[in-house]
Structures are given as C-alpha cells and as structure tokens.
Amino acid sequence: MAKKESKIIREAYGTYEVLTGDAEVKRLQEIRLMSILEEKSALLAAEKRGRLKGENIGIAKGENIGKAKGIKETVKNMLKNKETNEKIILYTGISEEELKKIKEEIEKL
C-alpha cells in the first residue's frame, strides 16, 4: 500500500528490484533510465535552441530600432541644415511619407 502512495518509496522499491532482480528486470530498468536521460537531453537541447532563436530575434529587433533612430536623427540634422527633401530621401533611403511625418514631429516640438 505504501508503495502506491509514496513516490520516494516507489523509486526506492524500483531501485531495490534492479539491485536484487533478475537480468530481465535489470535490462528493463536500464532501458527506462536511458529513455529518461534521452528525453531530458532532448528537452535541454530544444530549450537551448529556443533560447538562441529568441536572442537572435531580440538582437535583430534591437538593431532595426537603432537603425531607425539613427536615420531619424540624421533626417532631423539634415532638416536643421536646410537640406532639400530630395537629398534627404536620397541619402537616408526614407520615403516622402516618412519625411513628412518627421517634419510634423519637429513642428510639434
């Protein structure tokens, strides 16, 4: 009865059977243990791959945000220096729509 109720007792009993049991019981226990170890290894590998993928996504997003901020600052500086819209678009690669939005932001300040 206690064997059914307590995980610790069940595990201890399983170990006891391995140590005292016949060859077939030992072989089955070894197979079970290998299965558990393989599953843990697979889960750890998957977790590592997921973490690396997440880090790469985060880095890419951060780079894009930084690039966008840099371009925006460049546009603002070019506007302060009275550069033409054509030059700003040519040098920064932004669209006329984006340039218009940045000009509106500056006017609000």
Which DSSP symbol is given to 83? -
Higher pLDDT, 6 or 56: 56
pLDDT at 9: 82
With left for phi above 0 and alpha for psi between -120 and 50, is residue 84 left, alpha or beta? beta
pLDDT per residue over 80-108, tens digit each?
999 999 999 999 999 999 999 999 998 88
Residues 6+ apart with CB under 8 A from 4: 10
Residues 6+ apart with CB under 8 A from 102: 72, 75, 76, 79, 94
Domain ranges of the chain: 2-108
pLDDT per residue over 40-88, tens digit each?
999 999 999 999 999 999 999 999 999 999 999 999 999 999 999 999 9
